Each structure stands twice: as C-alpha cells, then as structure tokens.
C-alpha cells in the first residue's frame, strides 16, 4: 500500500511558484530568528490544538494564502485577542509577512509556510471562527481548473472546521472563478450564502483590508466578495 507521503496521494498543488527572487536580507534573517517561534507545529506530525498555539484566545481565524501578509497583519492588529493562523507557500510572501509581524510586534500570529490543506486536516472540527481566502490563484485554463484551491472537498473541509455561526470569506477578481467558487460553496451542506442584494458581493465589507495586490487590478472584474456562514 502506498504511504500517505506518496506524491500520487497528495492533492494537486493549488499554487504557483514558491519563490520568485532573492529574499531581502532583513526578511531572510527573520526566517531564522522570528519564524521558528511562530511556526505552526508540523501538521503531518499529529493534530493541531489552537488552544496550545495561543492560550486564552477569544477566537481563531485562518487565512489561506496570505500573499504578502498585509491583510493578515492588519487583521491581527485590529483583533489582538484573536489567534490568526496564516498559511502561504510562497516564500517571498512569508518573508514579507514576517516583516509586518516584526514591525508591528504582533503576538497573535502563527504561520505555516506551506500548503494550507495540511493544517486544515490537522485542526479539530468546529475550531475556527473565520476562514479567509483572498485572491487565490485563478488557474484560468480549463485544463488547469482542477488545480484551483476551491473544490468540493475544500469547501466541505471549511464547513467541518467552522464553528456554528463562523464565517468564510472568498474574494476574487476573476468572474469565472467567482462563479466556480459560488457553485461549490452553495452546494456544501452547512454553509449559507449571506448575500441578499448585489451590493453584498460587489461592495467591499466594512472590515475588508485592501492590499497592494488588489490595487494592481490584475483580474477581469472588480473584486467579488462571497461570505458564507456555518449554520448550526
């Protein structure tokens, strides 16, 4: 029987490059000094208990693919009593996030510099108050759609992890991906779309944090916001 580490049994990679250029010296130093102290325990070694990561946290949020870490750091700054778990395989983005965390002296952030799905599998049921998925790789070509992060198994895992009343927010600036994601979230038992009018998905929520990536306007539509809440 093939082991769980057999590449043929791993999910398709839903992200592109893991590094694009040399990491700046200051950020490289933070990989050695700061990252070890805030790294999420190896999810392949066993279950992850959020209460151990930050005892007494008022809530637990997970950001899947935090890019340069601007959104993650700002939300952590706004909610210092909430444990923020951020996952990002792109090392340049991890370096940027470390800089934000260091500059703001954030104590409530824990990072996983790899595939978020490993962390999700290791978290207990009903352990998250919020899941944030902002501008994931759209994988435009039809033959690459299978690499998109949002698949039926992913949305089912999100529903498993959310507490009753917990929310997942998906944001994209590609119309096709918005339609793709909406279809999969809507058919996931336990997740209820919160939109009642067009403004609910066309206008940024009050707590949204605009990042440099969003400002580049690389997609084919203004950002589309899909919020779902876990039913009881």
The reported pLDDT for the residue numbered 143 is 76
Sign of CA dihedral 87, 139, 131, 121: negative
The reported pLDDT for the residue numbered 116 is 96
The reported pLDDT for the residue numbered 10 is 58
Per the DSSP assignment, residues forming a β-bridge with 171 are 134, 225
User: Tokens standing for 169?
Assistant: 């927010």
The reported pLDDT for the residue numbered 232 is 81
Write out the H or E segment, with its range, that includes residue 224. strand 224-230
Q: Which of 137, 173, 176, 207 is catalytic?
A: 137
Residue 124 to residue 138: CA distance in whole angstroms: 28
Closest CA to 124 of 52, 36, 206: 52
C-alpha angle 222/225/229, rounded to 5°?
175
The reported pLDDT for the residue numbered 14 is 44
Crossing angle for the helix pair 70-78 and 91-104, to the nearest 10 degrees: 30
Cite the DSSP H helix spans in the chain.
Answer: 25-33, 35-38, 50-53, 70-78, 91-104, 116-122, 152-161, 175-186, 199-202, 212-216
Write out the H or E segment, with its range, that includes residue 169. strand 162-172
Question: CB burial class (10 A; 0-12, 13-18, 19+) of residue 68?
Answer: buried
User: Tokens standing for 226?
Assistant: 């899909």
Task: Judge whether 199 counts as a catalytic residue.
Answer: no
Architecture of domain 26-230 in CATH? Answer: 3-Layer(aba) Sandwich (3.40)
Low-confidence ranges of the chain (pLDDT < 70): 1-20, 144
Which position has the token pair 């209460």?
Answer: 51
On whether the pTM is more than 0.85, the answer is: yes
Question: CB burial class (10 A; 0-12, 13-18, 19+) of residue 105?
Answer: exposed
């Amino acid at each position: 029987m093939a082991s769980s580490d057999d590449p043929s049994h791993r999910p398709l990679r839903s992200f592109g490059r893991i590094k694009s250029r040399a990491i700046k010296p200051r950020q490289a130093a933070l990989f050695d000094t700061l990252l070890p102290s805030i790294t999420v325990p190896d999810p392949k070694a066993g279950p992850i208990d959020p209460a151990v990561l930050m005892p007494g946290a008022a809530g637990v949020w997970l950001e899947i693919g935090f890019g340069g870490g601007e959104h993650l750091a700002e939300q952590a700054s706004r909610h210092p009593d909430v444990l923020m778990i951020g996952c990002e395989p792109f090392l340049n983005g991890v370096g940027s996030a470390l800089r934000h965390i260091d500059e703001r002296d954030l104590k409530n952030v824990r990072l996983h510099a790899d595939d978020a799905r490993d962390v999700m599998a290791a978290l207990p049921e009903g352990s998250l108050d919020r899941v944030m998925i902002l501008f994931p790789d759209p994988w435009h070509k039809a033959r690459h759609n299978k690499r998109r992060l949002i698949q039926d198994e992913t949305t089912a895992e999100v529903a498993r992890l959310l507490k009753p009343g917990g929310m997942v927010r998906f944001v994209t600036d590609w119309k096709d991906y918005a339609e793709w994601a909406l279809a999969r979230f809507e058919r996931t038992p336990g997740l209820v779309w919160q939109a009642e009018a067009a403004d609910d998905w066309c206008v940024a929520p009050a707590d949204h944090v605009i990042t440099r990536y969003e400002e580049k306007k690389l997609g084919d539509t203004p950002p589309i916001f899909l919020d779902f809440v876990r039913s009881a």
